[in-house]
Amino acid sequence: MLTLLSSSAWDVLQRRSVFRESTPLAEAGERVERVVTEEYITRVVAMRDAAARNLLITQAYCDLSIEAADLLGSGAAINWCTMAAWASRRAGQSIRGEDLPGQKLVARAAARVPGARLLLDVMRDVSREVGEGNREVFLEVAPAFAGFTRAYRSGDDALAAFFAGFTQGPPERGGQDILRRAFELYLEAARAPAGKHKAELLYAANLHVALQEQTRLQGRIAAAMPGGPTTRVIVTKALLELELGGGTAIHRLGEDLPNGPFGEHLEALEDPELVTFVLRYDADIASTCGSRAERWDSLADRMRFIVELFRLHGSDASLFEEPLGAAEWLARTGRPRPRRPFLSRPPR
């Protein structure tokens, strides 16, 4: 899941001159396309304006999510892009330096503390790390989803070429073995009939993509977290949160997720490979107890939370809604959003 590094503690500080004032992001409105191809992805990641780029990344994840759900025949079962769209929306708030509740109080306190200028420099650095993390994950994962969709519709030869294109090796060394395994699972899910086995394949695929991108982001997340170990525990516990489905769920990353119900067919996991994967991070496979992250800069802590997050929202249809509503898109870009040429409504 994209950049939950976006929820930096320094987001609560008041926006200062290191951030631009909120103005219509006309570049995003001019460049947006609703069919996400590899060529379009390349154009988006080349954009220099991080805020405009993030807007297009968020929209692209949403469109890829719905197209993938259509191809997979998964109904309301989410795929990785479904969650990534909401995480990218959250990243955009940090990139743009937008206000959050309580920021004025924190800002006034910061202004009285020696070294407040340093805090504002940290804000700038965090915004940069979030923007680059948002771009890097999109550059790696979005082409894989777009390529998989195109290859699946073209036949077995195209699929063979698609899978041959992944770089061998673990993500720590620039490899994509985990990402390749994710799409092997998506392919198996696409060919499976509706039911428990299909749901577990989709869940397993989502977790493999999450592990790939969270491993890739480790350095940027660590750089975006302020202070030492104790500060990072406090920040994770008190300040980091993720909003999903237009406010239908708001989760604090330093607190346990609600104890179910899990997504459809995910209450009791059966697939041995999936169970083994989940148990690597979650000792209590029967509930969300202990799902909280102690420190968000810990890969194991993030994965424990993410494993439970994808299971809890595994069939949450609200996540297929547009993270950026029509009114918000118009306000930010200065022009209406083009209509999607494939599915007109989210899966139900």
In degrees and rounded to multiples of 5, residue 188 shows phi and psi of -60, -40
DSSP secondary structure, 300-327, as one string = HHHHHHHHHHHHHTTT-GGGGS-SS-HH
Greater confidence (11 vs 118) lies with 118
pLDDT above 70 coverage of the chain, percent? 83
What letter would DSSP give residue 11? Answer: G
pLDDT grade for 237, boundaries at 50, 70 and 90: confident
| Mean model confidence pLDDT for the chain | 86
pLDDT of residue 25: 87
In this structure, of 92-96, 178-182, 288-292, the range with the lowest mean pLDDT score is 92-96
Model confidence at 121: pLDDT above 80 = no
Which of 265, 302, 301, 307 lies closest to 285 in space, CA to CA? 307
In degrees and rounded to multiples of 5, residue 251 shows phi and psi of -115, 130
* pTM for the whole structure: 0.88
The answer to whether residues 75 and 190 touch, using CB atoms and an 8 Å cutoff, is no
The Cα–Cα gap between 64 and 69 comes to 8
Model confidence at 160: pLDDT above 50 = yes
pLDDT of residue 145: 98
Greater confidence (106 vs 326) lies with 326
Q: Give the mean model confidence (pLDDT) for residues 328-340.
A: 93
Burial level of 311, CB count in 10 A (0-12/13-18/19+)?
buried
Q: What is the pLDDT of residues 238-268, one digit of tens each?
A: 778 899 998 889 999 999 999 879 999 999 9
Greater confidence (343 vs 182) lies with 182
Q: Which residues of 48-58 are buried (b: 16+ CB within 10 A; e: fewer)?
A: eebbbbbbbbb
Q: Which residues of 181-210 are buried (b: 16+ CB within 10 A; e: fewer)?
A: bbbbbbbebbebeeebebbbbbbbbbbbbb
Model confidence at 183: pLDDT above 60 = yes
Burial level of 262, CB count in 10 A (0-12/13-18/19+)?
buried
The answer to whether residues 12 and 94 touch, using CB atoms and an 8 Å cutoff, is no
DSSP secondary structure, 244-300, as one string = EGGGTEEEETTSPPP--PPSTT-SS---HHHHHHHHHH-S-TTS-TT-S-S-TT-HH
